[in-house]
Structure 1
Amino acid sequence: MPRSEHRISRASISDNALKVLYRLKNAGYGAYLVGGGVRDLSLGREPKDFDVATDATPEEVNDLFRNCRLIGRRFRLAHVHFGREIIEVATFRALQGPPDPDEEPDDDDARLMEDGRILRDNAYGTIEEDALRRDFTVNALYYNIADFSVVDYVGGMADLEQGTLRLIGDPEVRYREDPVRMLRAVRFAAKLGFRIHPESAEPIPRLAGLLADIPAARLFEEVLKLFLGGQGAQTFELLRQHGLFRHLFPATDTALDDDEHGELLGFVARALANTDQRINEDRPVTPAFLFGALIWPAVLAQLPGARLAPDCEPQLLHQAATEAAERQLRTVTIPKRFGVPMREIWHLQPRFERRTPKRAQRLLGHPRFRAAYDFLLLRAESGLADAEVARWWTDFQQGNAEAPPPSTPRRKRRGGRRRRSSGGEGSNDSTGGSDGGST
C-alpha cells in the first residue's frame, strides 16, 4: 500500500525508532516498523512503543549500535537503548516445521518444539515468512521506511477496517504452539474493541486447559498485561466468556459460580472498573491491590458462611487468606513484594469494625491504611460490608465523626499480652504507601 493509501506518517513515529530504521536502511538492510505500532497508527491511536523488523541478524544489529543489547534465548532479540526508551529489533523469523521427532534435539537448534509448543524460535527467514508466523493479522503489518509503504501479506488492513481479530493460520495449531495466544486474543479484543473472529474464538474453551503448561511466573506477567491496560473490566468479562478465567484464578472462579446474589461478581467488577479509571487518569496502581481483589472471593469461600463477619476471629481470616493465596500460587506466581501487602490489606479489614477513638487513630496511621480503606469501600458498595461502617470511616478522616459508635465487646485474652512482631507480613515494604489502592 503506497503512502497515499494509508494514514501512517513519520511525524507520528518516535524519533529514536526513526534513527534505528534509517541506520539499518543506510547499512543496506531491510527496515520495517512492525506490529502494534503500525496497527495503532493505522487506527489513529498513539502507540505505546515501536518495534522494528529487519533481515539483519541480531549480531549485525549489535554491530550497528553501540547502545544495543542482545537478549533472550527462546527468541533472540536486539534492544537498542535511548535513555528510558527501548526500540526492539527482531530478525525476520522463518516458517519451519517442527524437528524430526526421531532426532535428538540439540541445545543450539534454531527451532525447538515439544508437544506442539514452540520452546525456541531463532530460525531466520524472509519478511513474508515472518508475517505468516505472527499471531494476528492486525499485528502483521509492516511500514517500510525505504518508500513509506505498508506491506500486508495476511489481510490485516481489511481486518482493521472491520474491527476483527483473526489468528493467522490454523487456530488450534497456533494456540498449541503457544497457549498464551489465547490470553493475547482476549487482551487485544478488549484493548481495540474488536470481536474475535469465530474461527479464532471457537477452540479457546476447548484448549484453555493448555495454560496449565505455562510457567506460573510467565502467567503473572500476562495477568498484569490483561488487567493493567485500562480495559480490565471488559477483559474480565471476555476471559469468563471464553472459559479462560478459571484457568488463571480457579478458586475465585468457583466462588463466583457459587455466588447466588452476585455480590462477589459485583465486587470484582467494581475493583477492575476503578482500576481502569485510575490507569486512564494516569494515577498509580499497585498489583497488590489488584490481586487482593481478584482473590478475595476465594478467601471468603474459606470462611464460615462465605462471608467476613464483623466479629470474625483474626486467626480464621489469616488461615483463610493463607489457604487462598497458596492455592493461587500453584497457577499464577505472586512475587513477595506484592503478596505481603496484599495480605495486609485483607488482614486489616476486621479492624475497621473496631472504632474506638484510640483504635481508629492507630489504624489511620497504618502504612497500608489507604489501600485497605479503598478495599473496604468496594466491599460496602458490593454488599459485602456494612455501608454505615464505610461512611463512618469516611467521616472520621474528614474530622466529621464526632462520636464513634460502641465498639464490639473485646474478648478477654488468655495468658500474657502477646508482643507484636516487627517483621513478617505486618511490616512495611517499598510497594506500600498512603495511597496504595487502585480505587
Structure 2
Amino acid sequence: MPNDTPSAIPALRTIPRDQHSISRKDISANALRVLYRLREGGHEGYLVGGAVRDLLVGGSPKDFDVATSATPEEVRALFRNCRLIGRRFRLAHVVFGREIIEVATFRANVDDGSGDRETHEGGRLLRDNVYGTVEDDAVRRDFTANALYYTIEDFSVRDYVGGFEDVQNRVLRLIGDPETRYREDPVRMLRAVRLAAKLGFDIEPATAVPIRALAPLLSEAAPARLFEETLKLFLSGHAVASFEGLERHGLLPVLLPEAAAAMKANRSGALRAVVVEGLRGTDARVAADEPVSPAFLFALLLWPAYCRTLMALQAQDMQPAEAQRRAADRVTVHELATIAVPRRFSLPMQEIWLLQSRFGLRQRKRVMRMLAHPRFRAAFDFLQVRQAGSDEHADDIAFWREAQLDPDLAIAHSPAGEGDDVAHAPRRRRRRRPAAAG
C-alpha cells in the first residue's frame, strides 16, 4: 500500500479561485448538480481526478468524476437516477440521459475491519471498499495529478499530495512507493504511459524506473481489462506517443508479444514504420472527430506478427491462401491470451489482412467483387498505410483509387488486359527479409 505515514503527506494546500484556471462554465452542469445535491444532503463532495487535472492544463474533459463522504447506498438514496456498480470498487453512477457522473466514496488505506478489502499474495488489490476521509482518499489515489479536489464551497482546489505543483511542472508522479503501487495494480504502468502521452507530461524518474522490471506483472491483469486499456492507449488521439512510451518502458513486449518480437527482428524497420504511420493516421482521425474501428487498430498493431507468422508458414511450402488463413488464426489466438479482442473485432481484423493479397488482381469480375466487399474500404486504407514500409504498393494503390471512381476505366488503364487471370493469380513470393512484408 502507499506510504500513509503523516510525514509522507504534505500539509493541505488550498488554491483559491483567483490562483487557478478552473471555471464552473467549463464543468458539466450535471456534475455540478450532483455536487450541490450532495451538499444539501449533508455530505462532502468534490470534483476530482482527471477532470480537475485536465481543466488546469486547459483541456476539455469528457468525463467528470465526483468523490464524496457519502456511501454508495447514501448516494443512491439521494438520486432516483442512480445505479450501483462494481465489486472490486463499489461505485455509484448517476445517469443523466447519455451522460454518467461517477460518484466514488472516499477510500482509506488502513482496514480497521469495518470495510471490504481483499489482497492477492503478490500485493495486487482484488477488492478495495474500505471507506475513509478525503485525506485518506487523496493518499490512496494513483498519481499526484489525479489527487486534486475542486469544491463548490468556495471554488478552490484542495491539494493534499503536491499534485498542483506537479501539474504546473507537467510531471507525472506516483503517490507512495512506486513498486508497491504497481504491484497493487499492474495496469497503473499502462496508465502512466497513457497519461504522460495524453498530457505531454514527463514521468518522474522514481515513478518510471520500476516499470521495465515489473512489466511482466501485466500478464496477471484480466485480458478483458487489457483490451479496454489498449483502446484508451491508442484511440484517445495520442497513439504514436503512447506506442513510443510502451517501447521506451519495456511494456510493448508484454502487451503485444509477437508483434514486438517481429518488429525487433525486422532490421529495416519497415514493420515498425507501418505501425507508426497507421497510428499517426489514427491520431489524425481522432483529432478530426472521425471514428476509428478497433478492428482496424488491432489489424495495425498485430500486422508485424501476422507478417512474420505468414513468412514462416510459407517457408514450409504451404499454399499462399492456406498460409494466410492459418497465420491470421494463429496470431489472433496467441494474442487472446493477453488481450481479449472480441470476435466482432478480430474477425474483420482478419478480413483486412486476408484482403491484402487480392489487391494485385485486375480481372474485371474480381475487381467488382472486391469493390463490393464490406471490408474493402478498411482494407484499402490499410494498403495505403503499408506504403510506409515499402513503395512496392504504389501501383496497386493508384489502380484501386481509380477503380473506386470508374472500375472499367481503371481496368482499361491497367497494363494487364481484362481477363488476364493467369498474370494476376496469387503468387507466393519468397522474401529474405521481413522488410518486404510491410
Tell me if TM exceeds 0.5: yes
Per-residue deviation at 1:254? 0.3
Contact residue 193 and residue 242 of structure 2 kept, 8 A: yes
1:260 paired to 2:270: no
Per-residue deviation at 1:358? 1.7
CA distance in 1, matches of 2:138, 2:58: 22
1:382 paired to 2:389: yes
Per-residue deviation at 1:305? 6.9
Q: How does 1:411-430 map to 2 (within 5 A)?
A: none
* Counterpart residue type for residue 404 of structure 1: S
Per-residue deviation at 1:404? 2.5
Per-residue deviation at 1:303? 2.3
Contact residue 383 and residue 393 of structure 2 kept, 8 A: no
Q: How does 1:211-290 map to 2 (within 5 A)?
A: 211-290=218-297
Residue 430 of structure 2: aligned partner: none
TM-score, normalised to structure 1, is 0.88
1:204 paired to 2:211: yes
CA distance in 2, matches of 1:281, 1:307: 40
1:65 paired to 2:79: yes
* Counterpart residue type for residue 422 of structure 2: P
Could you say which structure has the higher helix fraction? Answer: 2
Residue 44 of structure 2: aligned partner: 30
Q: How does 1:9-24 map to 2 (within 5 A)?
A: 9-24=23-38
Residue 98 of structure 2: aligned partner: 84
1:335 paired to 2:342: yes
Write the deviation string for residues 93-140 of structure 1: whole angstroms up to 9, x where unpaired.
Answer: 0112699xxxxxxxx961110120010010000000100000000000
Per-residue deviation at 1:307? 9.1
2:353 to 346, 350, 353: 346
Contact residue 174 and residue 207 of structure 2 kept, 8 A: yes
Residue 409 of structure 1: aligned partner: 422
Residue 177 of structure 2: aligned partner: 170
Residue 437 of structure 1: aligned partner: none
* Counterpart residue type for residue 323 of structure 2: L
Give the secondary structure class of the aligned counterpart of 2:301: helix
1:127 paired to 2:134: yes
After superposing the two structures, state which structure 1 stretch, 130-139 or 4-13, moved more: 4-13
* Counterpart residue type for residue 280 of structure 2: A
Per-residue deviation at 1:410? 7.0
Label 1:69 to 1:260 Cα distance change in 2 as closer, same or farther (>3 A): same
Per-residue deviation at 1:324? 1.0
Contact residue 313 and residue 327 of structure 2 kept, 8 A: no
Per-residue deviation at 1:380? 2.4
Contact residue 98 and residue 111 of structure 1 kept, 8 A: no
CA distance in 2, matches of 1:194, 1:266: 25
After superposing the two structures, state which structure 1 stretch, 386-395 or 267-276, moved more: 386-395
CA distance in 2, matches of 1:156, 1:357: 63
Contact residue 77 and residue 89 of structure 1 kept, 8 A: yes
After TM superposition, where is structure 1 displaced by more than 2 Å over at least 4 residues in a row? Answer: 303-308, 402-408
CA distance in 1, matches of 2:421, 2:297: 30
Residue 56 of structure 2: aligned partner: 42
CA distance in 2, matches of 1:359, 1:43: 53
Give the secondary structure class of the aligned counterpart of 1:28: coil
For structure 2, list consecutive stretches of 5 or more residues without a partner in the other structure.
1-14, 426-438
TM-score, normalised to structure 2, is 0.88
CA distance in 1, matches of 2:319, 2:271: 19
Write the deviation string for residues 360-391 of structure 1: whole angstroms up to 9, x where unpaired.
Answer: 11100111100011111111232175221111
Residue 372 of structure 1: aligned partner: 379
Give the secondary structure class of the aligned counterpart of 2:83: strand
Residue 182 of structure 1: aligned partner: 189
Residue 429 of structure 1: aligned partner: none
Label 1:411 to 1:22 Cα distance change in 2 as closer, same or farther (>3 A): closer
Q: How does 1:141-180 map to 2 (within 5 A)?
A: 141-180=148-187
Label 1:10 to 1:284 Cα distance change in 2 as closer, same or farther (>3 A): same
Residue 53 of structure 1: aligned partner: 67
* Counterpart residue type for residue 173 of structure 1: T
Residue 119 of structure 2: aligned partner: 113
Per-residue deviation at 1:411? 10
CA distance in 2, matches of 1:96, 1:40: 30
Contact residue 355 and residue 405 of structure 1 kept, 8 A: no
* Counterpart residue type for residue 172 of structure 1: E
RMSD over aligned CA atoms reads: 2.0
Contact residue 361 and residue 424 of structure 2 kept, 8 A: no
CA distance in 1, matches of 2:204, 2:111: 26
Label 1:209 to 1:398 Cα distance change in 2 as closer, same or farther (>3 A): same
2:301 to 273, 294, 297: 294
Residue 420 of structure 1: aligned partner: none
After superposing the two structures, state which structure 1 stretch, 399-408 or 369-378, moved more: 399-408
Give the secondary structure class of the aligned counterpart of 2:422: coil
The aligned length equals 402
Give the secondary structure class of the aligned counterpart of 2:254: helix
Contact residue 301 and residue 307 of structure 1 kept, 8 A: no
Contact residue 300 and residue 306 of structure 1 kept, 8 A: no
After superposing the two structures, state which structure 1 stretch, 318-327 or 180-189, moved more: 318-327
Per-residue deviation at 1:2? 1.6
Contact residue 314 and residue 320 of structure 2 kept, 8 A: no
Label 1:98 to 1:411 Cα distance change in 2 as closer, same or farther (>3 A): farther
Write the deviation string for residues 294-326 of structure 1: whole angstroms up to 9, x where unpaired.
Answer: 111101111237999xx9721111111111111
CA distance in 2, matches of 1:317, 1:284: 28
Residue 6 of structure 2: aligned partner: none
Residue 88 of structure 2: aligned partner: 74
Larger relative contact order, structure 1 or 2 (CA cutoff 8 Å, min sep 6): 2
Contact residue 263 and residue 384 of structure 1 kept, 8 A: no
Contact residue 310 and residue 327 of structure 2 kept, 8 A: yes
For structure 1, list consecutive stretches of 5 or more residues without a partner in the other structure.
100-107, 413-439
CA distance in 1, matches of 2:65, 2:280: 30
